[in-house]
Structure 1
Amino acid sequence: MRYVWVNGKLVSEKEAVIPILTHALHYGTSVFEGIRAYWNPDLNNLYIFRAREHYVRFHNSAKIMGIKIDYGIDELIDATVELLRANEAREDVYIRPIAFVSASTVNLDIRDLEVTTAIITIPFGRYLEPKGVRAKVVSWLRIHNSMFPMRAKVGGIYVNSVLALMDAKNSGFDEAIMLNRDGYVAEGSGENIFIVKDGVLHTPPTYDSILEGITRATIIEVARDLGLNVIERRITREELYTADEVFFVGTAAEVTPVVNIDGRVIGDGKPGPITLKIRNYYMDIVHGKVDKYRHWLIPVY
């Protein structure tokens, strides 16, 4: 990475620094997105996946937080393309837009404080093991949406995810699963979750303190297009253990099988056929191999 985009300009990575008193550093007053771009060597092009949907959520997160982004959705998409070209990206890339309260103050009142908007790109491969991960239902509960705006990707909220993941990792697992305060399954530390039972997909509803994931919405639509039944409903911890298949979805995680939860083998302990079908189709889509979904992709070159 040579360049980052900051407030409408390309600057070198070394120039993109912040003062030690930056408000967001102390209080988590930032909103962000995670977007992927995929390199297709056959088409000799890089494709940004669902950039518009991500930037719509980016703007919505900022509105919920009460901070102002001075750049429209089309401007941010154009800036992302410009940045990827400047960095001559020709591999899979993770894109991190962020808007943060950049004023140097310890005042909690963020009204009218300066906001910086930036976009960073990072070469990025697999986030989780594609052959399957072991997950733990951790003791840390997912923050309830009466306490935080759970549909917004706010920096400070992710302390919840950090604590959950550390709990799982320290116990020898790969990933965490959080319950909500009512005891129902919410999500992973950075992923939405699906279970498969008798050929039907089930996933927690948006009112159960989950992030309304772009990948989650993608998988629901794609699965239905594949002829699968998808039900959004509350899921209990016991249902995780007795599911035929379980998988995580997310921009970073893509579609990742969960083969063990709390030491209990899921299914036969291998990625299930429905999970693999969805994952393989999803990977074809993001690499520009499925014409039906090409409208989700923005070519960089």
Structure 2
Amino acid sequence: MQIAMIQDKIVPADELESAYLDRGIYFGDGVYEVLRSYDGKIFALEEHLARFANSLAAIGIAGVDIGLIRSRVQKAFDTAGISNAKIYFHITRGSAPRKHTFDAALKPNFFLTVMELPDDKEIKANGIAVSTHPDWRWKRCDIKSLNLLANVLARANAAEKGCAEAILVNEQGRITEGAGSAFFAIFGQTLQTSALTANVLPSITRKFAIKAGKNVGLELIEKSLTPQQATDADELFIAVTTKDIVPVVRFDGKLISDGKPGKYTKSLIWEFRSFTV
């Protein structure tokens, strides 16, 4: 008799709900997106859907109707009635008894949540502290995969240090990005961030942060930084879907400039907001 145990309850294996057999649980075999709304309007939905389609293709999950995903997202958002919401959704390869290989005919599983976003005025006004952590992730971080254990451990380490984000440093001693964000530095009138490679997520918020930078007169350099270079920057910030531009005022315990959000970062926050109306 094949069985399963859920907490202390034993059940026949053939009576398990499909959620317990999801390859997303066993292997992180799926991809996801996080997007948000501003004042009742979903921001950058098409950009997120395009990236989602690219992630699906990259791991070989075929036959997903992006138009259907779009309508599901909109329906869930409208039903929730939350003005400033975080929308999370993922697709896994499907449910089956655990084994590494998979049947190409598996039906993908879809899941979505809509949650209210907390107010972020305080962190935008005061900035956050960040700390560095080794980049232990796999070599295809350009795919928005459910495999996030390395990110989770890095963020947990940052939290233990009283920091809001972990900034990941690769084996060459250079910063790739944050555990859940894009990372930027400002030197004079230059905006610097890592170039998009297989080790850096093509962040939607990164794209709009760069656009905002150009609009306020910053010249872009796409080149990774060392932690020492980051501490020497005039300003630092992270870019993340749920909070857009967030000033970084302390890096590995060192104050950045005077320890307050810089003038360009403040301008970028306002400029980014203009994209959302």
Q: Same fold (TM over 0.5)?
A: yes
- CA deviation after TM superposition for structure 1 residue 187, in Å: 1.0
Q: Deviations over 1:97-147 (max 9, x none)?
A: 210123132111134122112332111124692221111112x3243xxx4
SS in 1 for 2:212: helix
Residue of structure 2 in register with 1:207 after alignment: 197
Q: Is the 8 A contact 2:142 2:197 kept in 1?
A: no
Residue of structure 2 in register with 1:99 after alignment: 91
Residue of structure 1 in register with 2:54 after alignment: 60
Q: 1:284 to 1:221 in 2, by over 3 A?
A: closer
Q: Is the 8 A contact 1:245 1:271 kept in 2?
A: yes
Q: 1:261 to 1:232 in 2, by over 3 A?
A: same
Residue of structure 2 in register with 1:137 after alignment: 132
- Establish whether residue 155 from structure 1 lines up as the match of residue 149 from structure 2: no
Residue of structure 1 in register with 2:243 after alignment: 253
- CA deviation after TM superposition for structure 1 residue 213, in Å: 0.3
**Stretches of structure 2 lacking an aligned partner (at least 5 in a row):** 1-16
**Stretches of structure 1 lacking an aligned partner (at least 5 in a row):** 1-16, 40-45, 289-301
Q: 1:230 to 1:111 in 2, by over 3 A?
A: farther
- Establish whether residue 50 from structure 1 lines up as the match of residue 44 from structure 2: yes
2: CA distance between counterparts of 1:102 and 1:227? 47
2: CA distance between counterparts of 1:221 and 1:111? 43
For CA contacts below 8 A with separation 6 or more, give which structure has more relative contact order.
1
SS in 1 for 2:267: helix
Q: Is the 8 A contact 2:175 2:227 kept in 1?
A: yes
SS in 1 for 2:21: coil
The residue identity in structure 2 corresponding to 1:93 is: A
SS in 1 for 2:37: strand
Q: Is the 8 A contact 2:131 2:251 kept in 1?
A: yes
1: CA distance between counterparts of 2:119 and 2:45? 20
- Establish whether residue 193 from structure 1 lines up as the match of residue 183 from structure 2: yes
Q: Is the 8 A contact 2:141 2:200 kept in 1?
A: yes
SS in 2 for 1:218: helix
Q: Deviations over 1:144-192 (max 9, x none)?
A: xxx4321110001x11110101111112322211112221111111000
1: CA distance between counterparts of 2:72 and 2:151? 29
Q: Is the 8 A contact 1:126 1:253 kept in 2?
A: no
- Establish whether residue 242 from structure 1 lines up as the match of residue 232 from structure 2: yes
Q: Is the 8 A contact 2:140 2:198 kept in 1?
A: no
Residue of structure 2 in register with 1:35 after alignment: 35
Q: Deviations over 1:1-60 (max 9, x none)?
A: xxxxxxxxxxxxxxxx85322221111111000111111xxxxxx111110110111011
Q: 1:249 to 1:199 in 2, by over 3 A?
A: same
Residue of structure 2 in register with 1:115 after alignment: 108
Aligned positions of 1:158-197 closer than 5 A: 158-197=148-187
- Establish whether residue 273 from structure 1 lines up as the match of residue 263 from structure 2: yes
Q: Deviations over 1:227-275 (max 9, x none)?
A: 2211111211111110000000010231001100111100110000000
- CA deviation after TM superposition for structure 1 residue 196, in Å: 0.4
Q: Is the 8 A contact 1:137 1:262 kept in 2?
A: yes
The residue identity in structure 2 corresponding to 1:22 is: D
Which of 283, 286, 300 is 2:273 aligned to?
283
Residue of structure 1 in register with 2:20 after alignment: 20
Give the percent of matched residue pairs that are identical in Structure 1 and Structure 2.
24
SS in 1 for 2:19: coil
Q: Which runs of 4+ in 1 moved over 3 A?
A: none
Between Structure 1 and Structure 2, how many residues are aligned?
258
2: CA distance between counterparts of 1:152 and 1:182? 22
Q: Is the 8 A contact 2:189 2:217 kept in 1?
A: no
Query: What is the CA RMSD across the aligned residues, in angstroms?
Result: 1.8
Larger Cα-atom Rg: 2
The residue identity in structure 2 corresponding to 1:150 is: C
